[in-house]
Amino acid sequence: MVPRNRHRNRRGRSAPPPHPGGDRDLIYGVHAVAAALANPARRLVRLRATANAAARLADVIARSGVAVETVDPATLSRRLGAEAVHQGLLLEAEPLPPAGLDSLDGASPVVVLDQVTDPHNLGAILRTAAAFGAAAVITTERHSAHAGAVLAKAASGAVEHVALIRVANLARALADMKARGYFVIGFDGAAELSLDDAAPLHPAALVFGAEGKGLRRLTRESCDRLVRIPLAGPIDSLNVSAAVAVALYAWSRDGSPAGERAS
C-alpha cells in the first residue's frame, strides 16, 4: 500500500493536518466507518450512531478516542437520504491527504481508470484493489466518480487502505508512469492478445475504460500493449469492476519482476 504522511493530533494518534478546503467526508455503514475509525491517517470530527451500532463497534470507537453522539435511525436517514444503507452509523472526517504519482515508488500493480463515472463502480474497484493488494487506483480529476459518501460505502472501507490518485491528464500520467518503469497494459475487448496468453509484467499499470465507451483513443495509444479478457458465454462484456477483479487475480498469480520495461 502507498504510505501516507502522518501528524500527531489532539488524541495522540497520527493524522493529517486539517484539510484546507474545509469539506468533510461523510462515511456511513459498519465496514466503512470501522475502517475510518481505525485509520491513524484520518482526522475524525463527529460520530453519530444508534445505540446498537455504537455497541457493535464499541472497541474500535474506544480506541479511536472519538466521542459518540447517540441518535435514532431516522436522524441519519434525514441527513443521508432514505436510500442510504447507513446501518446506524455516520462519521464526519477530514478528507485523507491527496496522493500523487510520486508516492507509488514502483509499487505494483496499479489500477488506472479512464473516465469511470459511477461511484458504485469506483467503490467496488477500490474494494477489489484492496483485496488483491493493489498499490493505488488512478483516475482523472474530471469525468470520474466523486469521492463522496456513496463511493466510501461501496468501497466498504477500502478508501482507508488504497490510495486514490487523481490526475489532470491521463495520457501524460501514463507517460510519467512509463518513465518510472511501469508496463502500461490496456484492457480492450477487441484486443488480439488474450489475458490467458499475456504473462503478468511488473511493475504494471492496468488500464480500464468506462462501460460502453471503453478506452479513449489517446489512452489506448498510450498503452504498451492491449489485452482482452476471454469470455466463453453469451455475454460479450463485463462490468468494469468485474474486469478489474479478473485482471488483478491474473496479476496476483505471479508477483515476480519481469525484466526491462516494454517498448
What is the model's pLDDT at position 147?
Answer: 63
CB atoms within 10 A of CB 168: 9
**pTM of the complete model:** 0.79
What is the model's pLDDT at position 22?
Answer: 46
What is the model's pLDDT at position 190?
Answer: 87
Is pLDDT at 12 greater than 50 in this prediction? no
What is the model's pLDDT at position 20?
Answer: 37
Domain spanning 101-252: which CATH class is it, in words? alpha beta
Kindly indicate the confidence band of residue 11, based on its pLDDT and cuts at 50, 70 and 90: very low
User: pLDDT tens digits for 37-89?
Assistant: 988 888 999 999 999 999 999 999 999 999 999 999 888 888 888 777 798 89
What are the boundaries of each domain within the chain? 7-93, 101-252
Kindly indicate the confidence band of residue 256, based on its pLDDT and cuts at 50, 70 and 90: very low
User: pLDDT tens digits for 132-189?
Assistant: 999 999 999 877 666 667 767 677 777 888 889 999 999 999 999 999 999 999 999 8
Q: How far apart are CA 197 and CA 132, in angstroms?
A: 21
User: pLDDT tens digits for 218-232?
Assistant: 999 999 999 999 988
What is the model's pLDDT at position 96?
Answer: 82
- Upper half-sphere CA count for residue 110 (Cβ side, 13 Å): 29
Q: Which fold has domain 7-93?
A: 60s Ribosomal Protein L30; Chain: A; (3.30.1330)
The reply to whether domains 7-93 and 101-252 share a CATH topology is: no
User: pLDDT tens digits for 186-235?
Assistant: 999 889 999 988 878 889 999 999 877 889 999 999 999 999 999 888 87
Is pLDDT at 21 greater than 50 in this prediction? no
Q: How far apart are CA 190 and CA 5, in angstroms?
A: 41
What is the model's pLDDT at position 254?
Answer: 65
Residue located via cell numbers 493530533: 9
What value does the CA radius of gyration of the chain take, rounded to a whole number of Å?
20
Residues 6+ positions from 52 with CB-CB distance below 8 Å: 88
